[in-house]
Amino acid sequence: MTDVSIAASDTLPPRRRHGIDLSQPIMLAAAALLVVLIVLPIAWIVAYAFLDKSGALTLGNFAKLFTDPSFLDPLIATATIATSVGCLCCLIAAPMGWLVARSDMPARNLVRTLVMASFVTPPFLGAIAWELLAAPNSGLLNQAWRGLTGASADEHIFNIYSLGGVVFVITCYTFPYVFVLVANALDRIPGELEDASAMLGATSATTARRITIPMVLPAIIAGALIAFLQALNLFGSPAILAIPAGFHTLTTKIWSLFQFPPKPELAAAAALPLLVLTVVLLRAQKAVLGRRSYAVVGGKYGAPRPVPLGAFRWVALAGCLFMLLMPVFLPYAALLNAAFSKIPTRLVTWDTLSWQNVYFTFFELSQTGHVLKNTFLLGALSATLGTLLALIIAYLVARQSVRGHKILGFLATAPIAMPGIVLGVGLFLAYTRPPLVLYGTLWILLIAYITIELPAAYQQLQSAFHAVHPELEEASRILGATRLRSLRDITAPLLRTGVIATWCFIFVAVVRELSAAVILFTSDTKVLSVLIFDLKESGDLGAIAVLGLSMLALTTIVIALANSIPGRGGDIRLRENG
């Protein structure tokens, strides 16, 4: 047979010899890399949690975790915070989502944009801004209150350093998750479904109760679970607000176990419940959302008919804007004020306007240059390598070109269940020992960032691949292009927009990341988020405000750039059959 094909190939027109098919080895390499990235840290966490110093199996760490009050209290506090945040988010976000998606409230797009603004604010920055606003003594709101009522200097109406304060601030920056889920669900539910109910004689209230609410309920429940998870795994806000208030959450407790003297075995034991709970809740969320398939069944639907609110529409807008005071307007005003004021907790006037903080941050603070360099380097590297890895995996999975591609997809989405702080602990345990001592280098942070961002990057590129019809690649193959040539000439240009968007997404996420970095950094490998967190300890609020606003400006610019890239050649999508 071989002879025949060699002899016959002489009659073929000259064509480049095609290379060996690399997809199987590439897939194996990608799988091995994913296993190392994901399994290694988890394995070390499990090992540390269940083994004592001599290597014998023990449950002692867990016994201590669930009996010692210094661990039990954070557990209770975390549960309280997460539950409260989950409920509050639904109470605020579900009505707002409905107003924006289904009512004739004015300025609906503005409200959507402002909610997105609170979405992109790093929660720890929001927490710092709220310190400026509502710290018991120096908080601007408390000062204003004292000024208005003439109350004495030791009185206050707001105290952000409290359980309530932590819940409030986390809610401010978590409710957008619920909002997005609810608004999207409502966008997708065709208005005809409600009209059909009305045609059968149902009143608006009945339609809402029997049709609309049951259909968005899965989205609300899923949103509540996500909010709960966020609150559970958040490190920045509780670290900034709970520790001064004199209590810990699970994440801050884990972090404190890495302060001198480090107790990694207890940190590992405390990290495991977070991991397990996250996996369980994500499964629950998937189950809840998975059943939503009944929501839209076939047929063509028009745009939903907005529900007229009458005079109430302005009340509704006022309510939405009031709600947005708290995550957006007030904190940003406080940060701007602090950035340009000699004393960050004084209201700035024309006379006291000063560039002193800006100058100090960028020219006097010795760490700034170094930290910015680390941040940019890590951001760019993580974004490039992460996009590349996600691209390879998404290609192998989307084109089903190798056996076992489903496992690869599962591995790539698995880190979504790994809270940043848990991953931080795992990586610390895994890479502080030979053969790979990466602790203290930028590599360990790079690994952490790529692992954390991989699921989102993978999902984004996967949907980009789905938009490129496989026949486009096949048309190139049958005309004589090899698999790699088709990738270069056809697939890559078509995916360009998706790839750039993914790169920007990872870059922005890396710049904001705190909870893994705070475990893994050393003085040489400090990044922007950690610097802001550190400056908070030294009380340098002016510099924090400058750095925080710079960070926001940077991420906004990157997002704007990503959005401004035009797709080329008109409609990327192909016409489907029929």
Partner 1 sequence: MTLDPTYRLGGAAGWRAIRGGDALASVELKSLTKRYGTAAAVDAVSLEIAHGQLVCLLGPSGCGKTTTLRLIAGFIEPTEGEIIVGGRVVSSPKRTEPPERRNMSMIFQSYALWPHMTVAENVGYGLSIRKLASHVIADKVKAILGVARLEHLAARYPGELSGGQQQRVSLARALVVEPETLLMDEPLSNLDANLREEMRFEIRRLHDAFKTTTVYVTHDQSEAMTTADLIAVMNGGRIEQLGTPEAIYDRPVSEFVARFIGASNVITGTALDASHVQVAGVALATTGRVLTAGVKVPVSIRQHDVTLETTAPPAGATNRIKAVVKRQVFLGASRDYLVALDDGSEIRLSTAAGQNVATGSAVWLHLPPERCLALER
Note the residues at the interface with partner 1 (CB under 8 A).
1, 4-5, 8-9, 11-16, 18, 21, 469, 471-472, 474-483, 485, 489-490, 493-494, 568-578
Q: Coil, helix or strand for 341?
A: strand
The tokens for 162 are 């409290």
* Reduced 3-state DSSP string for 26-69: HHHHHHHHHHHHHHHHHHHHHHHHHECCCCCECCHHHHHHHHCH
- Supply the minimum distance, in Å, between the C-beta of residue 399 and partner 1: 11
The tokens for 169 are 């601030």
| Residue (353 or 574) nearer to partner 1, CB | 574
- Supply the minimum distance, in Å, between the C-beta of residue 397 and partner 1: 18
The tokens for 113 are 């944009």
- Supply the minimum distance, in Å, between the C-beta of residue 567 and partner 1: 9
- Supply the minimum distance, in Å, between the C-beta of residue 481 and partner 1: 5
- Supply the minimum distance, in Å, between the C-beta of residue 393 and partner 1: 22
- Supply the minimum distance, in Å, between the C-beta of residue 18 and partner 1: 6
| Residue (146 or 469) nearer to partner 1, CB | 469
| Residue (308 or 567) nearer to partner 1, CB | 567
Complete DSSP assignment for 448-487: HHHHHHHHHHHHHHHHHHHHS-HHHHHHHHHTT--HHHHI
d(CA 496, CA 300): 31
Q: Are residues 81 and 167 in contact, defined by beta-carbon separation less than 8 angstroms?
A: yes
Exposure class string for 443-460: b at 16+ Cβ within 10 A, else e: bbbbbbbbbbbbbbbbbb
Instruction: Collect all residues with Cβ–Cβ distance below 8 Å to 53 and sequence separation of at least 6.
Output: 265
d(CA 361, CA 367): 9
| Residue (8 or 200) nearer to partner 1, CB | 8
- Supply the minimum distance, in Å, between the C-beta of residue 88 and partner 1: 46
- Supply the minimum distance, in Å, between the C-beta of residue 468 and partner 1: 9
| Residue (21 or 68) nearer to partner 1, CB | 21
| Residue (27 or 111) nearer to partner 1, CB | 27
d(CA 524, CA 199): 68
| Residue (539 or 567) nearer to partner 1, CB | 567
Half-sphere exposure at residue 254, Cβ-oriented, CA atoms within 13 angstroms: 35
d(CA 565, CA 562): 6
| Residue (433 or 573) nearer to partner 1, CB | 573
- Supply the minimum distance, in Å, between the C-beta of residue 27 and partner 1: 17
Q: Which of 241, 228, 269, 240 is nearest to 422 (CA)?
A: 269
| Residue (476 or 525) nearer to partner 1, CB | 476
Q: Which of 549, 542, 545 is nearest to 342 (CA)?
A: 542
- Supply the minimum distance, in Å, between the C-beta of residue 404 and partner 1: 16
The tokens for 28 are 């194996």
| Residue (451 or 491) nearer to partner 1, CB | 491
Q: Are residues 491 and 468 in contact, defined by beta-carbon separation less than 8 angstroms?
A: yes
